[in-house]
Amino acid sequence: MKALLLRIGIDTGTDGALGPIFEDWSFEFIPISERFPSRECRTYGNTIGRSGKLLSIYLPKRIANRITHFDPEFESCTYGDPTSKRKYLLKLENGDLLVYYAGLAPYPRSKRRAALYIVGYFLVDSVLDFNTLSKEEIKEYSKKYSNNAHFKRNTDTTDLVMVIGDRTDSRLLHKAILISQTKLDKSGKPYQAVSKEMEDLLGISGAIQRSLPPRFIQGDEHITNLRKLLMHG
What angle is formed at CA 4 by the lines to CA 99 and CA 194, rounded to 5 degrees?
Answer: 80
Q: How far is CA 84 from CA 55, 67, 72, 130, 230, in A?
A: 29, 23, 17, 14, 27
* C-beta atoms surrounding 69 within 10 Å: 22
Q: What pLDDT does residue 188 have?
A: 86
* C-beta atoms surrounding 187 within 10 Å: 5
Number of domains in the chain: 1
Beta strands (DSSP E) in 40-144 are 78-81, 97-106, 115-129
From the number of C-beta atoms within 10 Å of its C-beta (0-12, 13-18, 19+), residue 225 rates as middle
What lies within 8 Å, CB to CB, of 100 at 6+ separation is 6, 7, 8, 9, 72, 118, 119, 120, 121
From the number of C-beta atoms within 10 Å of its C-beta (0-12, 13-18, 19+), residue 54 rates as middle
CA–CA dist 76, 210 (Å, integer):
27
Q: Which residues of 117-134 are buried (b: 16+ CB within 10 A; e: fewer)?
A: bbbbbbbbbebbebeeee
Do the Cβ atoms of 150 and 157 come closer than 8 Å?
A: yes
Domain encompassing residue 166: 2-231
Per-residue DSSP letter, 86: H
- Provide block-wise average pLDDT over 10 residues at a time, the chain (233 residues): 96 93 95 94 96 95 96 94 95 97 91 93 97 94 93 90 96 96 88 94 92 90 96 80
What angle is formed at CA 88 by the lines to CA 178 and CA 176, rounded to 5 degrees?
Answer: 15
Q: What pLDDT does residue 211 have?
A: 78
Q: What pLDDT does residue 125 have?
A: 97
pTM for this prediction: 0.94
Q: What pLDDT does residue 154 have?
A: 78
